[in-house]
Amino acid sequence: MTDALAKALRDFFTPRMLGLVLWPLLGSVLLWSLLGYFFWHDLVNGLQHLASVPALKNLFGDTVLHVVSEFSVAVALFLILPPLVQATALLITATVAMPLMVEFVARRDYPQLERRRGGTIMGSVWNALGSTLAYLLLWLVTLPLWLFGLPAVVLPVLLNGWLNDRLFRYDALSEHASRDEYALLRGRAGGRFYLLGCVASLIQLVPVVNLVAPVYSGLCFIHFGCAALVRLRSSAAA
Whether 88 contacts 36, CB under 8 Å? no
Whether 30 contacts 85, CB under 8 Å? no
Residues 1 and 138: their CA atoms lie apart, in Å, by 27
Among 125, 126, 137, 188, residue whose Cα is nearest residue 162: 137
| SS3 (DSSP) at 14 | coil
* The dihedral sign for the CA sequence 214, 215, 216, 221: positive
Q: Parse the chain into domains and list their residue ranges.
A: 2-237
Residue type at 43? L
Distance of CA 228 to the CA centre of its chain: 20
Angle of helix 81-92 versus helix 121-142 axis, rounded to 10: 170
Question: For a pLDDT cut of 70, what percent of the chain falls above it?
Answer: 79
Is 28's pLDDT higher than 80? no
| pLDDT of amino acid 6 | 96
DSSP-derived secondary structure letter, 194: H
pLDDT tens sequence across 40-95: 666 666 655 655 556 555 555 566 556 555 555 555 556 666 777 778 888 888 88
Is 114's pLDDT higher than 60? yes
Whether 201 contacts 160, CB under 8 Å? yes
* The dihedral sign for the CA sequence 159, 129, 32, 209: positive
| pLDDT of amino acid 64 | 59
Whether 119 contacts 174, CB under 8 Å? yes
The pTM of the full predicted model, rounded to 2 decimals, is: 0.81
pLDDT tens sequence across 147-187: 677 877 898 899 999 999 999 999 999 999 999 999 999 99
Whether 174 contacts 182, CB under 8 Å? yes
